[in-house]
A and B are shown apart, each in its own frame.
Chain A
Amino acid sequence: DAKTTQPNSMESNEEEPVHLPCNHSTISGTDYIHWYRQLPSQGPEYVIHGLTSNVNNRMASLAIAEDRKSSTLILHRATLRDAAVYYCIPYTGNQFYFGTGTSLTVIP
């Protein structure tokens, strides 16, 4: 199973960009990289996923290193609503393992 390493916590000022890193050095060549977030007292919600190329959607951008051993979730302008725990998940073997994630605090 691919293992991930994420910072336990990060802070960002409101309306500034946020770069959330994730190391997944044991990822296999066919594992998609997923990002989910969990707002307080809610279930996880999908943010973005990708395989090799950088990906963009209305919520965020995902930058994947060329060797695929790391990726970075980019929130272009942090809002107070973005305060959540962010999980980086290499999808492997039909299973999503969530790990402990990064707790993002957004400072007004």
Chain B
Amino acid sequence: NAGVTQTPKFRILKIGQSMTLQCAQDMNHNYMYWYRQDPGMGLKLIYYSVGAGITDKGEVPNGYNVSRSTTEDFPLRLELAAPSQTSVYFCASSWAGIGELFFGEGSRLTVL
């Protein structure tokens, strides 16, 4: 069972570069989430989606964009990377939003 798959696991970006973090789930979950976790801190919600074509902002959306064209995929786009976006990014999914959240293994991003 693949569950939630995130790619890449590690990435180093230069300031001003752009990239997309990929997230895919094979559990037919309608709800998907993107979080970031800075060292020694809790998780902060960036964006979430309650179904294909529907996305909404979380606590810290600035500097990011998302799309949800299919149930399976929920990519996170970073435009004009900044050092403040150095973090570990987690994607998660759940059924109907009230059940168990399943997390990916995380993507560690460093912006230099």
Contacts and interface: CB of A to CB of B under 8 A. Distances in A.
Interface of A: 32, 34, 36, 43-46, 49, 85, 87, 91, 94-101
B97 interface: yes
B43 interface: yes
Contacts of B105: 43
Given A46-B101, A91-B97, A95-B45, 6 more contacts: A44-B43, A85-B42, A95-B33, A95-B48, A96-B45, A99-B42
Given A91-B97, A94-B56, A44 B45 contact: no
Contacts of B103: 43-45
Contacts, number: 49
Contacts of A32: 98
A2 to B, nearest CB: 14
Interface of B: 31, 33, 35, 41-45, 48, 50, 56, 58-59, 90, 92, 97-106
A44 B98 CA distance: 16
B92 to A, nearest CB: 8
A88 to B, nearest CB: 11
A27 B30 CA distance: 24
Given A36-B101, A43-B106, A96 B90 contact: no
